[in-house]
Structure 1
Amino acid sequence: MSSLALTLLYLLAAVLGVVACRSLKLPPMLGYLTAGILIGPHALALAQNSESVRHLGEFGVVFLMFSIGLEFSLPKLRAMQRDVFGLGLLQVVLTMAAVCGGTLLLAQTLGGVWDVGWQTALALGGTLAMSSTAIVVKLMAERAEIESEHGRRIMGILLFQDLAVVPLLVLIPALAAAPEDLLPALGWASLKAVVLVTVLLTGGQGLMRWWLTLVARRKSDELFMLNLLLITLGLAWLTELAGLSLALGAFIAGVLVSETEYRHQVGTDIRPFHDVLLGLFFITIGMMLDWHILLEQWALVLGLLAVPLLLKLGLILLLARGMGATTGVGLRAGLYLAQAGEFGFVLLALMQTHGLLRPALMNPILAAMVLSMLATPFLIMYSNQIVMKLVASDWLQQSIQMTHIARKAIDTSKHVIICGYGRCGQNLARMLEQEGIPYMALDLDPDRVRQAAAAGHSVVYGDATRLQALVAAGLVRASAVAITYLDVPSALKVLANTRSHAPQVPVVVRTQDDLHLDRLQAAGATEIVPEAIEGSLMLASHALALVGVPMRRVIRLVQDQREARYNLLRGYFHGADDDRVQERDQERLSTITLPPGAKTLGQPLEHLALHAMGVRVVSLRHSNGRTAALADVLVLAAGDTLVLSGHPSALLGAQDKLLRG
């Protein structure tokens, strides 16, 4: 198969896999893994796991480590130090110790395929200690659980696991040295890593800021992007030249950039490379899996699946309980983190490259890791039912929590339920207080709730997406519900619960932009406030005031726009920088000027029935510059310019009808 045909095959497999997972609301990573399994040499045999493809996959790991370094933040670590360096450190160390000890025990008792040295056992412990940041964080974000009690502990453990990968990337190649050279190899690798990291982090931060500023002043997006690739791949090459891994250099590059003011722009620019190449890496991992192993050695695979899952689940539960968490919180954290992770695949591939793992063990372990990741969405989906069934105290605690909310809201009626007590929710609460209107706020950040409640605010710890919490907050007696956070899936859950149990209560929803307006309106939102539209109105009002338009007229113009319920601003004229994937089918504005030969000249506008095509006429301007009133009977003439609003396909049809009849 030619290189072009092979590339097209990988792209087709990736697209189909991701589309299937998106349809099932599963993480894209699972789509890449499944696609790799299907097209690989052990299934349909459409492609071989060639050396060139594996090299491209390694670049995916490089950009993954760069992204991890970019998110590295000392203030963030300090704020979460108890969960990161307490719970996270103990989880990784104890999991490695347990897996290492168990592997050595199997080597002594069973021998055969399990006859491995302590080097392999230790590396395998580090591999299985990892959990999937990509899957868990995505699912927690969709369930609005990142700020919950178990969510904060999960994030702390994941953050330490990400950091632990860095020394493991140095350790595993050193473990592959001959026994008599092992200690010198470990010492030499550690010394090189410490010296290189120290030099780069001490002298590199100022140099990185100076260099990025110099590049940014050229105001060239192409130059900035090329510079990012040069820095990332250059430092990766430098660490590989020093006998360390590519991924370590990429991590250092990310840390250096994270200390500059360009970190957010860099994160946005590097994302396409990160996603595409990492997807290719997971396809190569899937291609390595021989599904025949599942049939021939099913007992071994199931054992390798069940034992690490139960080990990590039980260990995290015990550690969380020992650090003050309830049994329910600890069990949820264990269920969320029991699976293998993307860094586990990276370390497993590194073990294979350096000959630390026999092929007879490689495939069963790989199969078990893939199965554990496939099971993760279902474990998380049913985690609440599992916890409620196994932990009676969790049910009691949730009942106490609902009782606490109900007690706070028992004497309240005609109040506003505020879902989310961040900056937006607190501003709303202040304005309600000024007008003497009662409110009840629900939030999942315990620190914020504690501080706000101590200050006398009417806020309680509770998940607004859960019907029990809304009912306890007095949903049926409320005058309105305000959803103040930007998470659309969570907002849809609140809308569904409100519509089914208190359809008379109006719901106001805050969104980032107008992309989900129709979806939220269909779900029952009374009003939707897109931040992008409100920002554009404020910008326009300030600009009008600065150029001399009387303030009374400015206020009236803004009010007219708001009373139109954002209809004019729901679409906007798209440019080259608005053509991202998620915006290509978004409602937009388009203009068309009728030429002298147009077939519709002389016809009344209303006879064209453009609305039946899904297109709305926003305005019409004659060739003399005068804007016509749409309420009048308009006859189209040459030179007329129409502003149309609709989706791209509908706009193309309308333009064709206007020009060709």
Structure 2
Amino acid sequence: MEHGLLVHILAMLVIAIIAIALLRRIGLPPILAYLLTGVVSGPAGFHWFTQHQMHSVAELGVVLLMFTLGLEFSVPKLWSMRRTVFGLGSMQMTITALIAGGMALLVGQGMVAAIVIGSVIALSSTAIVLKLLNEQGWLRRRHGELSISVLLFQDLAVIPLLILLPLLATDGSQVSFRELAWGLFTGILAFIALMSFGKWVLPRIFDEVARSRTNELFVLSTLVVALVTGAFTQWLGLSMALGAFIAGMLLGESQYRRQLEADIRPFRDLLMGLFFISIGMLLDFGLVIQYWWQILLTLVVVLFTKVAVVFGLLRLAGENAKVALSSALSLGQVGEFSFVVLALAVNYQLLAAEVSTILVAVAVLSMSIAPWLVRHSIDIAERFVGHIAKQNQQLEQADFPVIEQQSDLVIILGYGRVGQTISRFLKTEDVPYLVLDLDPKRVSEAKAAGEPVYFGDACRMSILKQAGIRKANLVVVTFGEPRQAEEALSLCRKLAPETKILVRTKDDEYLGELKEAGATQVIPESLEGSLMLVSQVLYKCGVPLPRIIKRLESERRNHYQYLHGFFTGAETDFTLDTMHAVPLPSGATVVGRELSSIPWRSLGVELRAIRRRGEEVNSPTKDWVLAKNDILMLVGKPRSIEKAEEYLLQN
């Protein structure tokens, strides 16, 4: 019996490997391969396993998925996007769930089933959409940001669903509003209690674990924390996934977030694969064939409803038709968390087998279509709203004046604080310039003052052509938002390959990407402010001006090397590079070795300088021989610095 079970497990894994390889070749997500494996190895196929047999192991996959989701959950990020997350996200979830739930009631489903169906259909796939947006380079575009905001709220909305579903399982008895409210209140109290307890205890536990410098202990501690918090919430009558999410969220703000995520990913991916295999076992092909037309009709209705709701909300919020439709198409599919909700609903007997089969089939088909829809969302949007774009283009051409082309013309994109400052200095030097801005009030005020400022979207090719970008000497991109600057930059470089383009940013986070996109020079405002302060300090200290200018230009060429890597303090952001001094004792094995023999790249750190007998040598040569009492100045992430220090100090 045990031998047969082992053979079945191996056969199931082989099927999963082949299915993943084949589906990846045609651009479909691995989730579909796992679902197909579940169909083949479950009751509808060879019947090697039942869904019940897979449930316990598969539930661990959901627990680890929610733990990693908690690690990614950032309260500051959520607050910075609160308008779109809580405004657009909540409206999308509410309206879509109400429409889907209402349709379920009309076809004869009960109230509890309608709530589950509405929740399942309202969710979209975070994993698929984020991956595809990242592949296309659309994460910082407007439709990408809007899609991420909605997905972020949906991930957040899973939490009350995890609390609600166990409360709806009343063995057929009528659930009262008081019982429901009390259950939700209990869940919220448990949430707050766990957060309060974990905020002080968990970071201290992982501080001790990190000091041991044992990777096995780190991985084991991560798994234990996720499972223990999950077991605690299950003991309270809630789901295990809720406790794991809380634990992840508490550790997400710590310095160990990235290490925790990296350590737990292999376990999460494997167990999530088993979870989706168990979902595939829910598919009964007999029922799929019996209800094939209902499945296809439901798929069409779901896609149309979700796209229409998001499109309508974004148009009401003032977004243009192209952005609204491309965002809506990206969110049209049913998501992986829908499978989590469906699995819990089937486990608690909240849905009939026929309904769950139809919903699983609809979710699988919608996720199969999702990659094509996301990749072609902009093309589809342009085609559907093409007549509107043509009308707008005609209006823009009518309103935009003919500009006299000049070889030394400077085009400024954006007329905010930075754009206005640049234009004032250009005016004093009699340098011809032209400005594009999208704020109608600012444009009208500037025009009334006689400024060459015109209303126009700098991310539109037709506007840039009319502004004469091909004959401009210089283009200055002053937008504060990176995604807008990158989009305008790519268009400018496409239209004017030889024109010099300067891009202003807040910091150098996207410096490499902007350089690759075609920027002649990127000016990070915060770092340039630091350099200006340094230049004044050096000048007041008597350093010659030519030497100061040479030093500043060197910093710019080296991508602001000396403006990164600082000694850490109590309030330091541990996601940034830090500097750490490592004195070499006489017993260290690296004493007497050349710098070239040390694997700095694999250690993940940079040797910034060496102090010897009170003197500092910046950027020492590769043939430098280390001596005892040398102090090495290392720059890198905290975890990498710990690893490097352990390597350098070993006896």
Using structure 2 for the length normalisation, give the TM-score: 0.64
The one-letter amino acid paired with 2:30 is: Y
* 1:194 aligns to 2:188 (yes or no): yes
Which of 304, 307, 311 is matched with 1:310 structurally?
Answer: 304
Distance 1:355-1:197 versus aligned 2 partners, 3 A rule: same
Aligned to 1:172: 165
Distance 1:212-1:58 versus aligned 2 partners, 3 A rule: same
Counterpart contact for 2:230–2:243, Cα < 8 Å? yes
Aligned to 2:74: 70
What is the distance in 2 between the residues matched to 1:361 and 1:416?
63
Distance 1:382-1:526 versus aligned 2 partners, 3 A rule: closer
Aligned to 1:249: 243
Aligned to 2:96: 95
Which of 119, 124, 131 is matched with 2:117 structurally?
Answer: 124
Counterpart contact for 1:13–1:36, Cα < 8 Å? no
* 1:360 aligns to 2:354 (yes or no): yes
Aligned to 1:374: 368
Distance 1:74-1:451 versus aligned 2 partners, 3 A rule: farther
Aligned to 1:594: none
Distance 1:494-1:276 versus aligned 2 partners, 3 A rule: farther
Counterpart contact for 2:97–2:121, Cα < 8 Å? yes
What is the distance in 2 between the residues matched to 1:165 and 1:234?
20
Distance 1:323-1:622 versus aligned 2 partners, 3 A rule: closer
Deviations 1:574-620 (A, max 9, x none): 9878559xx9xxxx99xxxxxxxxxxxxxxxxxxxxxxxxxxxx999
The one-letter amino acid paired with 1:192 is: T
Counterpart contact for 1:128–1:340, Cα < 8 Å? yes
What is the distance in 2 between the residues matched to 1:376 and 1:267?
30
What is the distance in 1 between the residues matched to 2:523 and 2:204?
37
Counterpart contact for 1:312–1:337, Cα < 8 Å? yes
Aligned to 1:462: 457
Q: Provide the aligned length of Structure 1 versus Structure 2.
A: 560
Counterpart contact for 2:410–2:474, Cα < 8 Å? yes
Aligned to 1:269: 259
The one-letter amino acid paired with 2:262 is: P
Which of 63, 78, 99 is matched with 1:59 structurally?
Answer: 63
Aligned to 1:237: 231
The one-letter amino acid paired with 2:259 is: D
Distance 1:486-1:149 versus aligned 2 partners, 3 A rule: closer
Distance 1:122-1:377 versus aligned 2 partners, 3 A rule: same
Which of 465, 478, 481 is matched with 2:472 structurally?
Answer: 478
Aligned to 2:635: none
Aligned to 2:345: 351
What is the distance in 1 between the residues matched to 2:398 and 2:212?
56
1:291-310 alignment runs, 5 A limit: 297-310=291-304
Please report how far the alpha carbon of residue 242 of structure 1 lies from its aligned counterpart in structure 2 after TM superposition.
1.0
Counterpart contact for 2:67–2:247, Cα < 8 Å? no
Aligned to 1:599: none
Deviations 1:145-195 (A, max 9, x none): 667665665454334323321111111222222232633763553232022
The one-letter amino acid paired with 1:92 is: M
Distance 1:423-1:316 versus aligned 2 partners, 3 A rule: same
- Gap runs ≥5 in structure 1: 25-29, 108-115, 567-571, 590-617, 626-661
Deviations 1:434-468 (A, max 9, x none): 8775666778xx7xx6798699696966363x533
The one-letter amino acid paired with 1:283 is: G
What is the distance in 2 between the residues matched to 1:197 and 1:331?
37
**Local SS of the residue matching 1:42:** helix
Distance 1:133-1:170 versus aligned 2 partners, 3 A rule: same
Distance 1:336-1:368 versus aligned 2 partners, 3 A rule: same
Distance 1:125-1:198 versus aligned 2 partners, 3 A rule: same
Please report how far the alpha carbon of residue 487 of structure 1 lies from its aligned counterpart in structure 2 after TM superposition.
11
Aligned to 1:610: none
What is the distance in 2 between the residues matched to 1:309 and 1:321?
18
Counterpart contact for 2:230–2:241, Cα < 8 Å? yes
1:624-643 alignment runs, 5 A limit: none
Counterpart contact for 2:140–2:484, Cα < 8 Å? no
The one-letter amino acid paired with 1:299 is: W
Deviations 1:81-129 (A, max 9, x none): xx4444433332232222222223223xxxxxxxx53322211111111
Distance 1:85-1:497 versus aligned 2 partners, 3 A rule: closer
Deviations 1:342-390 (A, max 9, x none): 3222212222222223343333322221222232343344444544554
Distance 1:563-1:309 versus aligned 2 partners, 3 A rule: closer
**Local SS of the residue matching 2:40:** coil
Please report how far the alpha carbon of residue 71 of structure 1 lies from its aligned counterpart in structure 2 after TM superposition.
4.5
- Kindly report the root-mean-square deviation, in angstroms, between the aligned alpha carbons of the 2 structures: 6.0
Deviations 1:243-274 (A, max 9, x none): 1112222333355456x5x3xx3443343256
Deviations 1:13-54 (A, max 9, x none): 698479758xx6xxxxx5321332454452898996745651
Deviations 1:292-322 (A, max 9, x none): 5776754233112111111222233444455
Which of 150, 155, 162 is matched with 1:157 structurally?
Answer: 150
Aligned to 1:35: 33
Deviations 1:536-590 (A, max 9, x none): x98xx99xx99x9977667647757977999xxxxx989878559xx9xxxx99x
Please report how far the alpha carbon of residue 398 of structure 1 lies from its aligned counterpart in structure 2 after TM superposition.
4.3
Distance 1:270-1:442 versus aligned 2 partners, 3 A rule: farther
Counterpart contact for 2:142–2:483, Cα < 8 Å? no
The one-letter amino acid paired with 1:76 is: S
What is the distance in 1 between the residues matched to 2:368 and 2:417?
37
What is the distance in 1 between the residues matched to 2:210 and 2:444?
48
1:365-514 alignment runs, 5 A limit: 365-391=359-385, 394-395=388-389, 398-399=392-393, 402-403=396-397, 406-407=400-401, 414-416=408-410, 462=457, 464=459, 466-481=460-475, 497=491, 501-507=495-501
What is the distance in 2 between the residues matched to 1:277 and 1:220?
21
Please report how far the alpha carbon of residue 55 of structure 1 lies from its aligned counterpart in structure 2 after TM superposition.
3.8
* 1:283 aligns to 2:277 (yes or no): no
The one-letter amino acid paired with 1:180 is: S
What is the distance in 2 between the residues matched to 1:198 and 1:579?
42
Which of 126, 138, 163 is matched with 1:133 structurally?
Answer: 126
Larger mean CA deviation between 209-218 and 375-384 belongs to 209-218
Using structure 1 for the length normalisation, give the TM-score: 0.64
Please report how far the alpha carbon of residue 6 of structure 1 lies from its aligned counterpart in structure 2 after TM superposition.
8.1
What is the distance in 2 between the residues matched to 1:372 and 1:503?
41
